[in-house]
Structure 1
Amino acid sequence: MKDEDKEVRNLHQQNPRGTWVQTERSAHEALAILIAEAPRAAQLLHVLIANMDKSNALIASHATLAKLSGVSTTTTKRALKVLSSQAWIQTIQLGGDRGGALAYIVNSRIAWADKRENIQYARFNARVLVSSADQSDLGTGELRGIPSADPGDIQLPHGDGLPPPKQELHDELLPQLPAIPHSDEA
């Protein structure tokens, strides 16, 4: 199997939860017409729906969407124009015109991945897909690790540690220290 095919397969990793989407019956009728009129747009719509998050959003480059669809970036751009002009998706510009990215929001009257009553809430999250074609370095270097404890482990102090931070007191803002009442005051 080619490395590129492995990468595309790895982009389709399923989450342990939230692996379903729902659709309207009328959307299927409209999708049948889209398949006949613009098959590549219909194919791309299915890719977007399969990868969107609970808020129907996905951020991915044209190159990544093209790779997932198995078509050229030019074909992907044409398909996105069809989907956007026919209100299957909405695109939102993130960042400036140059160097920015697009978020693709699937029309929630067609498909959704959360409880139907949550569609009324305005929020924006997105799943972000990045392929090697979008990056010169996907982080082959090792990241700095942070020590962590497993459940049941006990932390054992080691070494002198750092001195506590020093902060000067201000005359007007003296700390309120708790007082222990004497037994004859109580």
Structure 2
Amino acid sequence: MIPGKAPSGVFVQTDRATHEAWAQLTIKAPKASALLHVLANRVAQHNAVVASYPVLAEISGMSVSSVRRAIAALVEGNWIEVRRIGPSSTVNAYVLNDRVAWTQPREAKRYSLFSATVIASAEEQEDRDTLDTPQKPLHRLPLLGETQLPAGPGLPPEAQPALPGMDSDLPSRG
């Protein structure tokens, strides 16, 4: 079984009423309750996880058919929503708690808009036999973030020289 790792932070919060309802779910559908714990551990701040049935089976220690039944029980109990990704339903987004936002009018084609943690398994990749070998690096787009970018002619030199090893990180151009 793959060890669970919190995406960011170490807490998942639920209220007391939810704990009581979750306890009843554990009595009625233990595997559904266990899968809900697995999903809750991986949702990060967006309350959604994207994964295939085989990956959910692998990370939960259940069979694929048990995962399917557990998901059906969670949907029926209004614990999660399932949003299909692609036409075949082999990969879905499992949304906990929040309702998804629709971006188009009701009569138009609707698209679900949410962020999610995506769990991929090496076994499901077409190039799985080469994943352990060095891969050609991808082209990276430059990130601007909080880096200082020099622009313009710059300021005149300071009256006091910089201390050794404490040179300014903004070059001046004149």
TM interval, shorter chain, is: 0.5 to 0.7
Deviation at 1:24, TM superposition (A): 1.2
Q: Deviations over 1:103-157 (max 9, x none)?
A: 0001249xxxxxxxxxxxx951111111233224343342334699xxxxxxxxx
Which of 1 and 2 has greater Rg?
1
Equivalent in the alignment of 2:134: 142
User: Greater relative contact order: 1 or 2 (C-alpha under 8 angstroms, separation 6 or more)?
Assistant: 1
1:129–1:87 distance in 2 versus 1, CA, 3 Å: same
Letter in 1 for 2:134: E
Mapped pair 1:127 → 2:126: no
**1:18 partner SS:** coil
**1:90 partner SS:** strand
Equivalences, count: 126
Equivalent in the alignment of 2:86: 95
**TM-score, normalization by structure 2:** 0.64
Deviation at 1:99, TM superposition (A): 6.5
Any conservation in 2 of the 1:57–1:105 contact (CA below 8 Å)?
A: yes
Q: Deviations over 1:81-110 (max 9, x none)?
A: 0001110000011122x276210001249x
Distance 1:19 1:79 in 2: 25
Equivalent in the alignment of 1:13: 5
Any conservation in 2 of the 1:64–1:133 contact (CA below 8 Å)?
A: no
Equivalent in the alignment of 1:38: 29
Distance 2:133 2:95 in 1: 33
Letter in 2 for 1:23: T
Any conservation in 1 of the 2:83–2:92 contact (CA below 8 Å)?
A: yes
Distance 2:121 2:83 in 1: 20
Letter in 1 for 2:17: S
**1:133 partner SS:** helix
**TM-score, normalization by structure 1:** 0.60
Deviation at 1:21, TM superposition (A): 1.3
Provide structure 1 residue ranges, at least 5 long, that are not aligned to the other structure.
Answer: 110-121, 149-186
Percent identity among equivalent residues?
A: 34
